[in-house]
Amino acid sequence: MADPPPPTHAPPPRGVVLIGYRGSGKSTVGEALAERLGRPFIDTDADVRARFGGRDAAEVFADPSLGEKGFREVEAAAVAEAMAGAAAGAVVATGGGAVTESAAGRAAVTACPALCVYLHAEAAVLAARISADPHNRRPGLSAADADPAAEVAELLKRREPIYRAVADETVGVADLTPAEAVDAVVALLPR
């Protein structure tokens, strides 16, 4: 009599990594998506803030001993660690510049077997969302007196090709509620 075949183990569920410009809904959609899928949620912005003792990006950028360079180094480390969770099935929301401003962050996301989804919206939509956010303490990324809408348009023009190159899929979120965006991402997952 032959030995029974060894038990097969299903691969871990494919994780999801959300990338995109600030205001695209990565954290909101990510948290709701993780809850719907029954998976852990990792928000790299929250992780980075914790690593800086609760200081937000605006405070870190303004600190002459750290600045944007110091922020991006810590962000890249947080993203690399989060990708281990994504590889095991977690849902990860990255910071807006995590893949565009850091080669290390981009490499970590690209190497991860998780589904990478770019949450896309036009610059005017993103600028309106950012302006309407009462908790927006993120720093401007160009001249201090720059028009926020012009800054978003300028940076999105530079960043969008990178988001699209890194992402496996793109979901347009300009006209979607967070719940509809979750549905759109779920539709991309293998059944």
Residue 155's domain spans which residues?
A: 16-186
Write out the binding residues.
23-28, 45, 72, 96, 138, 159
Q: Residue 50: how many CB atoms within 10 A of its CB?
A: 11
Would you give the DSSP letter of residue 71? H
pLDDT single digits (tens) 58-81: 888 889 999 889 999 999 999 999
Residue 6 CA: distances (Å) to CA of 2, 10, 11, 12 = 12, 13, 15, 18
**For residue 14, how far is the Cα from the chain centroid?**
16
pLDDT single digits (tens) 80-99: 999 999 999 999 999 999 99
Residue 151: name the closest of 122, 123, 119, 118 by CA.
123
26 pLDDT band, cuts 50/70/90, is very high
Whether the Cβ atoms of residue 166 and residue 116 lie closer than 8 Å to each other: yes
Strands (E) across 12-131 are located at: 16-19, 41-43, 91-93, 115-120
Residue 11 lies in a domain: no
Q: What is the pLDDT of residue 5?
A: 65
Residue 126 lies in a domain: yes
Is the pLDDT assigned to residue 178 strictly greater than 70?
Answer: yes
Residue 79 lies in a domain: yes
Phi, psi (5° rounding) for residue 144?
A: -60, -30
Residue 170 corresponds to which tokens in the numbers above? 């793109």
Residue type, 85: G
Residue 3 lies in a domain: no
Residue 157 lies in a domain: yes
pLDDT single digits (tens) 108-139: 999 999 999 999 999 999 999 888 876 655 55
Residue 6 lies in a domain: no
CATH number at residue 145: 3.40.50.300
Cα(15)–Cα(33) distance, integer angstroms: 11
Residue 186 corresponds to which tokens in the numbers above? 């779920």
Write out the binding residues for ATP.
23-28, 138
Write out the binding residues for Mg(2+).
27
Residue 1 lies in a domain: no
Residue 125 lies in a domain: yes
| pTM for this predicted structure | 0.88
Residue type, 16: V
Average pLDDT along the chain: 89
Whether the Cβ atoms of residue 76 and residue 1 lie closer than 8 Å to each other: no
Number of domains into which the chain is organized: 1
Is the pLDDT assigned to residue 16 strictly greater than 90?
Answer: yes
Write out the binding residues for substrate.
45, 72, 96, 159
